[in-house]
């Protein structure tokens, strides 16, 4: 007997094979970016890009300056909560909302833990510690701790990608814009090297894949999900 289809408001999860391929590609990306970040001369090679993003030409400077206040610690949490709330509110059922909440927690927590472990393994200095004259653009305090990878980027990418199966088109567009804004902002305030952001995005994708596989293996709706 054919299993009932999932609620029409829920997007379909990637197949297990697709999820595993994406996860494998993300792991490879982590390995490559970690190697580049810790290679001799990595800081020198990225200094020009860091300076460009820290003081970009117009109109890039206008866009980054406009979004900057929304991406400080407290506003960033609020914006993330609003995006999560929008996805949950447009879910078709209570079980979908529970799956959305679980996926968000699993993706974000995995990304945070993974990023913090990699930070301590790579032990890379932040641009502020290496390059003189960088502008924090009003960030509450100079970024401290290890550079590679960007935990902010990892968590936001994990959240957006992890919730992707439940998102509507307009939510996906907003999610991509939000993740891109966070990644560029980390460069704009001099908190990270470009490689840190790429590595953070890869870590975030691993978190998203784990969230997808968890939902596929243990759906809270109690029924099999159709997959693309």
* Predicted pLDDT at 3: 44
Q: What is the pLDDT of residues 58-109, one digit of tens each?
A: 999 999 999 999 998 889 999 999 999 999 999 878 888 999 999 999 999 9
* Predicted pLDDT at 109: 98
| Residue showing tokens 């994708």 | 205
CA distance 169 to 175: 10
On average, the pLDDT of the chain sits at: 90
What architecture does CATH give domain 16-37+60-217? Answer: Up-down Bundle (1.20)
* Predicted pLDDT at 87: 94
- What's the chain's Rg over C-alpha atoms? 19
Structure tokens, 121: 């393994």
Q: What is the pLDDT of residues 101-135, one digit of tens each?
A: 999 999 999 999 999 999 999 999 999 889 999 99
| Residue showing tokens 């993003």 | 53
% of the chain at pLDDT higher than 90: 80
pLDDT band at residue 155 under the 50/70/90 scheme: very high
Structure tokens, 200: 């953070």
Structure tokens, 33: 């970016």
- In DSSP terms, which residues pair with 227 in a beta bridge? 13
- In DSSP terms, which residues pair with 13 in a beta bridge? 227
Of 142, 121, 135, 104, nearest in space to 34 by CA: 121
- Between residues 88 and 141, the one the model is more confident about: 88
CA distances to 4, 19, 20, 74, 96 from 213, in Å: 20, 7, 9, 31, 15
Of 81, 85, 71, nearest in space to 186 by CA: 71
* Predicted pLDDT at 95: 87
Cα angle for residues 53, 58, 62 (degrees, 5° grid): 80
Decide if pLDDT at 228 tops 50: no
Is the pTM of the predicted complex or chain greater than 0.85?
Answer: yes
CB 205 within 8 A of CB 20: no
Decide if pLDDT at 227 tops 70: no
């Amino acid at each position: 007997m054919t299993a009932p289809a999932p609620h029409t408001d829920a997007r379909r999860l990637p197949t297990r094979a697709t999820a595993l391929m994406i996860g494998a590609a993300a792991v490879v990306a982590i390995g490559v970016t970690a190697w580049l970040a810790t290679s001799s001369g990595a800081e020198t090679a990225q200094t020009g890009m860091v300076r460009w993003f820290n003081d970009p030409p117009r109109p890039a400077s206008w866009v980054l300056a406009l979004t900057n206040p929304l991406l400080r610690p407290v506003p960033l949490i609020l914006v993330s909560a609003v995006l999560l709330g929008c996805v949950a509110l447009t879910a078709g059922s209570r079980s979908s909302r529970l799956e959305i909440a679980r996926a968000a927690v699993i993706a974000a927590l995995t990304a945070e833990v993974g990023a913090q472990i990699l930070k301590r393994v790579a032990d890379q200095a932040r641009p502020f510690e290496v390059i003189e004259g960088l502008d924090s653009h009003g960030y509450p305090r100079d970024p401290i701790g290890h550079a590679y990878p960007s935990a902010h980027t990892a968590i936001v990418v994990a959240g957006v990608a992890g919730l992707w199966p439940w998102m509507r088109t307009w939510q996906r567009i907003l999610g991509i814009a939000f993740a891109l804004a966070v990644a560029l902002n980390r460069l704009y305030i001099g908190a990270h090297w470009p490689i840190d952001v790429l590595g953070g995005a890869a870590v975030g994708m691993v978190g998203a894949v784990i969230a997808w596989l968890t939902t596929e293996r243990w759906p809270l709706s109690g029924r099999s999900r159709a997959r693309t």
